[in-house]
Structure 1
Amino acid sequence: MPQTFSVADAVELAVVERSGFVESRHAGSAIVLAPDSTISVQLGDTTTPILPRSSLKPLQALACLSAGAPLEGERLALATASHSGTDRHVAVVRDVLAAAGLNEDALACPVSWPLDQRTRDEMVRDHAESSRIRMNCSGKHAAMLLTCVTNGWDTDGYLDPEHPLQVHIRDVIERLIGEKVTATAIDGCGAPVYGMSLLGLARAIHRIGNSSERSPFALHRSAGTMVRAVRENPWTIDGPGRADTIVIERLGVFAKGGAEGVMVMVAPDGTTVALKMLDGSGRAATAVALRLLERAGALAASDVSDAMNMLPLSVLGGGTDVGAIRPAF
Structure 2
Amino acid sequence: MTQPVPMAEIWRGSLLESLHLGHAVVCDDSGQIVRSWGDPDAVIYPRSSSKMIQALPLITSGAAAKYGLSTEQLALACASHNGAHIHTDRVNDWLSQLGLDDDDFRCGPQEPADLPARDELIKNDASPCQVHNNCSGKHAGFLTLNQHLGAGPDYVEVDHPVQQACLTAFEEVTGMSSPGYGIDGCSAPNYATTVHGLARAMSWFASAADRSDRASAAAAELSAAMMLHPDLVAGETRACTNLMRAMGGKVAVKTGAEAVFIAIIPEKKLGVAVKIVDGATRASECAIAAILVGLGVLEADHPETRKYLNAPLLNRRGIDCGSLRPSAELRF
If the length of structure 2 is used for normalisation, what is the TM-score? 0.91
Q: Given residue 20 of structure 2, which amino acid in structure 1 is its aligned partner?
A: H
- Whether 2:63 is the aligned partner of 1:65: answer no
CA deviation map 1:240-285 (0-9, x unaligned): 1211000111113200000001000123433322110000111121
Corresponding residue of 2:244: 248
Match of 2:93 among 71, 95, 106: 95
Shift of 1:131: 1.2
Corresponding residue of 1:186: 183
Indicate how the Cα distance of structure 1 residues 302 and 36 shifts in structure 2: closer, same or farther if over 3 A, else same.
farther
Corresponding residue of 1:143: 141
Corresponding residue of 1:159: 156
**Equivalent pair of 1:269/1:298 in contact (CA under 8 Å):** no
The 3-state SS of whatever aligns with 1:283 is helix
Corresponding residue of 2:270: 271
Q: Distance in 2 between matches of 1:230 and 1:297?
A: 20
Corresponding residue of 2:233: 237
Corresponding residue of 2:166: 169
Shift of 1:62: 1.4
- Whether 2:79 is the aligned partner of 1:85: answer no
Q: Distance in 2 between matches of 1:44 and 1:104?
A: 42
The 3-state SS of whatever aligns with 1:133 is helix
Shift of 1:170: 0.3
Shift of 1:150: 1.1
- The farther-off stretch of 259-268 and 166-175 is 259-268
- Whether 2:290 is the aligned partner of 1:291: answer yes
- Please list every run of at least 4 consecutive aligned residues from structure 1 whose deviation after the TM superposition is greater than 6 angstroms: none
**Equivalent pair of 2:57/2:145 in contact (CA under 8 Å):** no
Q: Distance in 2 between matches of 1:124 and 1:94?
A: 20
**Equivalent pair of 1:51/1:196 in contact (CA under 8 Å):** yes
**Equivalent pair of 2:174/2:201 in contact (CA under 8 Å):** yes
The 3-state SS of whatever aligns with 1:280 is coil
If the length of structure 1 is used for normalisation, what is the TM-score? 0.92
Q: Given residue 128 of structure 2, which amino acid in structure 1 is its aligned partner?
A: S
Q: Given residue 82 of structure 2, which amino acid in structure 1 is its aligned partner?
A: S
Match of 1:46 among 33, 36, 40: 40
The 3-state SS of whatever aligns with 2:96 is helix
Q: Distance in 2 between matches of 1:318 and 1:241?
A: 18
Corresponding residue of 2:320: 321
Shift of 1:50: 0.4
**Equivalent pair of 1:96/1:146 in contact (CA under 8 Å):** no
Corresponding residue of 1:76: 74
Shift of 1:82: 0.3
Identity of aligned residues (%): 33
Q: Given residue 208 of structure 2, which amino acid in structure 1 is its aligned partner?
A: S
Corresponding residue of 2:257: 259
Shift of 1:295: 1.9
Corresponding residue of 2:16: 22
**Equivalent pair of 1:230/1:237 in contact (CA under 8 Å):** yes
Shift of 1:37: 4.3
**Equivalent pair of 1:55/1:263 in contact (CA under 8 Å):** yes
Shift of 1:67: 2.0
Give ranges in structure 1 of 5+ residues lacking alignment. Answer: none
The 3-state SS of whatever aligns with 1:276 is strand
Shift of 1:157: 1.3
Q: Given residue 28 of structure 1, which amino acid in structure 2 is its aligned partner?
A: G
Q: Distance in 1 between matches of 2:32 and 2:164?
A: 30
- Whether 2:52 is the aligned partner of 1:55: answer no
Give ranges in structure 2 of 5+ residues lacking alignment. Answer: none
Indicate how the Cα distance of structure 1 residues 37 and 298 shifts in structure 2: closer, same or farther if over 3 A, else same.
farther
Indicate how the Cα distance of structure 1 residues 36 and 290 shifts in structure 2: closer, same or farther if over 3 A, else same.
farther
